[in-house]
Amino acid sequence: MGTEGENVRVIAGRYRLEERIGRGGMGVVWRAADQLLGRQVAVKELVLDASLSAEEARLQRERTLREARAVAQLRHPHIIVVHDVVEHDERPYIVMELIDGGSLAERIGTNGPVDAREAARIGIALLGALRRAHGAGVLHRDLKPANVLMEAGTDRVVLTDFGIAQVAGATTLTESGSFVGSPEYTAPERMSGDRTGPASDLWSLGALLCAALSGESPFRRDSLGGILHAVVVDEIRPPAQAQPILPVVRGLLERDPDRRLDAAEAERLLREFLETGRTPRVPVPYTPTERDVPRRAVPPPPLPPVREVPEAATPPATDVPRNAKQSARGVLVAAALVAAMAGAGVSAAALLMHDGGSGGNTPASSGPPHMSVSAGPSHPSSQGPSPAPTVTVTRSPASVSASASAADHKAPSGYRQVRDPDGFTLAVPDGFTRSPQGERIFYLSPGQTFRIGIKMADPEPGGPIGVMRAADADGPSTNPGYHDGQVTETSHGGNPAALWEFSWNGYTAAEGPRHTYDLCWEQGGRMYDVWVSAPVGKIREAKEYFDVAVDTFVPA
């Protein structure tokens, strides 16, 4: 097929292939000489499916050349320059600029992971490249460290290998019905066979940033099945090294493409980090309507908004309020994961996340619309809730007196009165299960969408209001994306109490923005904390659960 021997060939009468410099699933890359213009270039020789008929092969070549030419129209400093697209001996070739320097994957393999500032710089460059490509209707679909070149001497970041790129409205380049791409960097919607778009490339960028910072993708597993399960179902755990730009990584690794961080916002946040050196704050994607936000409990006893106990400041963990005086420690809670894979497609059940209650010494809880709640966030623990026995809660009066008995606070319809082994009773919704986590007790809804937390501890200096104010002050460090925190001094059953309410971004991109109600109070020489955490879109339900929990809580 060549004109000058097995290893040295001239294609299209112009490009002399001199040395193989790379090989991938889509073909071989050669260092070549452009004999017409006297310059060095890179030539990618695309391999076609040998099982195709002659007619199918012809159609595939035409499609490949057509789409490669569309990619060649892209002009951006961080996108590889495509000089020419030719066909030789019925095989397509793409002629590109030759970048003197290895790939990001090679750099990581040789020198180890990069720091956050360098990762942000690389991310900004790639976001610019993707915005240009997406604006032209071109999807990359195989963004990974091996397809990012780092030019020697300039450190220019260059996105290359649009070998399986897809042009809007066209059939996937060189695709014959089988899966194309690198599973560890492939968005869940592609894994599941759903329609994909620009957001899928942004997911890949999130995985790439994790790999650049830690040395490997967060979805790396020992088998293909394990990788697919990790991408579609498993809890997403960004590496600790991603902390400085965690809001960006989490935003990009949002399983729901409609809620995924977009390119413009991701670039803005990364630039903010480079300019200030501080972790950027991401605005909550969901803006609650006035009816959704329970400012001052809806019903009678208008309790001031309650803020959920600060959760572990570490990546993916359950919502667990943290002690204002303790440093945030990583909280990790196993969630029920279910995934089904059939053939090349994969479908998975929703990822279950966890909520935590108050941290330190007080338990946090949420209750119906107007009840007081114990503060939990001020005393975080390093552990999160895990599934346990099922329980139901009953709704009762807005306040509970210190001498009240469990019998005085019956569970409302849809709840069940629970006598907890730790020596207290309360009403929890039907179907909720108990999950003890150290000194905290959690009652979790199926899927852990709603998390009720309880904590009992010795009183602390400053009382409930001091504990909750300290927790509020530590909110940004314990709860990712913490905002709208409010602490109100109140009373509960005639005892001093404090109500804390706040919103935050959740521990993982998968679980999304959450809202927390937390009541802390002193009673009989003990401090109690009861809280409820839930998605921002389910605030009304969360408030009811919170009020019921607080109204029906009776210590031993």
Residues with catalytic roles: 142
Strand bridging mode 526-535 / 364-365:
parallel
- 153's tokens: 């001497």
Find out whether 534 and 357 touch, Cβ atoms under 8 Å.
Answer: no
Find out whether 427 and 418 touch, Cβ atoms under 8 Å.
Answer: yes
Query: What are the residue ranges of helices labelled H in 441-500?
Result: 463-473, 475-478
Give the closest residue to 503 by CA, choosing from 528, 539, 453.
539
Question: CA of 4: how far to CAs of 36, 42, 215, 331, 466, in Å?
Answer: 17, 18, 42, 63, 82
- 191's tokens: 């894994």
Q: Name 407's Cβ contacts closer than 8 Å, sequence gap at least 6.
A: none
Look up tokens 């980090």; give the residue. Answer: 273
Give the closest residue to 323 by CA, choosing from 356, 355, 362, 372.
362
Q: Name 356's Cβ contacts closer than 8 Å, sequence gap at least 6.
A: 309, 311, 312, 317, 318, 319, 320, 321, 331, 333, 376, 380, 381, 384, 385, 437, 440, 442, 451, 453, 533
Helix (H, G, I), strand (E, B) or coil at 15: strand
Give the closest residue to 337 by CA, choosing from 236, 435, 411.
236
Q: How far apart are CA 505 and CA 501, in angstroms?
A: 14
Q: What's the CA angle centered on 181, arms 73 and 146, to 5 degrees? A: 75
Q: How far apart are CA 288 and CA 302, in angstroms?
A: 20
- Any idea of the CA torsion for 452, 455, 461, 463, to the nearest 10 degrees? 50
Find out whether 554 and 329 touch, Cβ atoms under 8 Å.
Answer: no
